[in-house]
Amino acid sequence: MAKTTNENIDSSSSQIGIQFNAAISVDCVIFGYDKHDLKVLLVKSDMPIYKDKYSLLGDLLRQDENTDQSAIRVLEKHTGLSGLYMKQVCTFSNVDRHPEGRVITVAYYSLVQLNEDLEKLILHNPNLKWEKVSDIVELAFDHILVFEKCLKKLRYGLREKPIGFNLLPEKFTLKQLQNLYESVLDIEIDKRNFRRKLKSINLLVDVNENETDVSHRPAKLYSFDKSRYSTKKKKGFNFEL
């Protein structure tokens, strides 16, 4: 009986002695928002070939973890936070992407509200820095491709899902929400149209508070109603802003 195609491939691989010799890693694009700018956490590369260049944060996959667990470990190590929003984006597998051998990486992006504690990360580790997305033009390895792919995925997701609220404090003003969308999408948004859409999706709750410590007239504060969104989603609701 003739062997199947798959059996022929397996047999051929065994005969020529093909071995599993590729490393697997995760690379994390950690997006942070500071109420004004969208930023990414970068680390200075320790490879001589990439002297003075920065890269994304990542690590090789350990024997006892899958890629999600590895990405979570990297995020917790460098932010001190758990439960962050995280999205797997795609795999990068070009044979020459790492100077020390074959490394296949799974790319993720995560979202975090940038506060004083996270800003102080660079004080504890001088090799880390928060860089504005608009200022990133070059990174070590092929990380500029990873960064661009994840930024594109974030921008697409921001319009289709309420993921942007992960970048804001629990209570926020409508202006802060609009500023977030303008910063991430790199566009100008008409105020009236934006607020009309907010009203139509009916997912914000007036918390009966105003912002404090501002030089202008205090604006109302709102929160995102996760339970209402979950209920509406089960009924086929499509989020769009």
Q: Where are the domains of the chain?
A: 22-160, 168-234
Q: How many CB atoms lie within 10 A of CB 50?
A: 16
Position 120 scores a pLDDT of 78
Task: Answer for the pair 111, 41: CB distance below 8 angstroms, yes or no.
Answer: no
Classify strands 54-55 and 220-224 as parallel, antiparallel or unpaired.
unpaired
Selection from 138, 123, 175, 117 nearest residue 54 by Cα = 138
Position 18 scores a pLDDT of 55
Fill in the amino acid letter for 198: L
- Give the whole-angstrom CA distance, residue 28 versus residue 79: 12
Q: Which two tokens stand for residue 21?
A: 């010799």
- Give the whole-angstrom CA distance, residue 184 versus residue 40: 12
Report the CATH number of the 22-160 domain.
3.90.79.10
Position 240 scores a pLDDT of 87
Q: Please report where in the chains the tokens 């200075």 appear, as a residue.
A: 44
Q: How many CB atoms lie within 10 A of CB 75?
A: 23
pTM (2 d.p.)? 0.88
Position 1 scores a pLDDT of 45
- Give the whole-angstrom CA distance, residue 42 versus residue 227: 34
What is the DSSP secondary-structure string of 1-37?
-PPPHHHHHHHHHHHHT-----EEEEEEEEEEE-SS-
Fold of 168-234: Arc Repressor Mutant, subunit A (1.10.10)
Selection from 211, 182, 207, 186 nearest residue 194 by Cα = 182
Q: Reduced to 3 states, what is the DSSP secondary structure of residue 235?
A: coil
> In Å, what is the CA distance from 137 to each residue of 131, 144, 148, 184, 212?
11, 7, 10, 17, 37
Q: Reduced to 3 states, what is the DSSP secondary structure of residue 161?
A: coil
> In Å, what is the CA distance from 203 to each residue of 71, 165, 173, 200?
30, 11, 14, 9
129 backbone φψ class: left, alpha, beta (φ>0; ψ -120 to 50): beta
In tens digits, the chain (241 residues) has pLDDT values of 444 444 444 444 444 455 667 899 999 999 999 989 999 999 999 899 999 999 999 999 999 999 999 999 999 998 989 999 999 999 999 999 998 899 999 999 999 999 888 877 777 888 999 999 999 999 999 999 999 999 999 999 999 999 999 999 999 999 999 999 999 999 999 999 999 999 999 999 999 999 988 878 899 999 999 999 999 999 999 898 8
